[in-house]
Amino acid sequence: MLDSLAEAGIAPERTILLGFSQGACLSLEFAARNARRYGGIAALSGGLIGPNTIVRDYPGSLSGTPAILGCSDKDPHIPRERVDLSADVLQRMGATVTKRIYPQMGHTVNDDEIELVNAMMKALVSA
């Protein structure tokens, strides 16, 4: 996908990797395994894939990349610990992480997350 965007003249620095649930997991894994400066990463109710025992020492840097991670404190599919671990990994890789844990939200997207993503998009468009 990024190759197709590059052919159209859109650099990765102007691209936001965004997903909800499994899409969030895939967005995070892609960003971690293909580290570089992106326009942003937004992972809503998701986390890096695999057991917590996996060493998360990805090569490369996400320096300059803003990242949003949002999830419920009691998501039936994504344990809070997975979100915390994912945020820590992105921070170690140089991303600027905004993590929000919402009480009793369940496995969904809320208005605050939509506002955060909208602000990320507006900042990218105006840059």
Return the pLDDT at 111. Answer: 98
Any residues with CB less than 8 A from the CB of 35 and at least 6 apart, and which?
Answer: 58, 59, 60, 61, 62, 93
Summary mean pLDDT of the chain? 94
> Is 56 within the bounds of a domain?
no
* pLDDT, tens only, 81-93: 999 999 999 999 9
* pLDDT, tens only, 25-66: 999 999 999 999 999 999 999 999 988 777 788 999 999 999
Instruction: Provide the CATH number for the domain around residue 73.
Output: 3.40.50.1820
> Is 55 within the bounds of a domain?
no
> Is 85 within the bounds of a domain?
yes
Give the active site residues. Answer: 21, 75, 107
* Segment 90-107 mean pLDDT: 97
Return the pLDDT at 84. Answer: 96
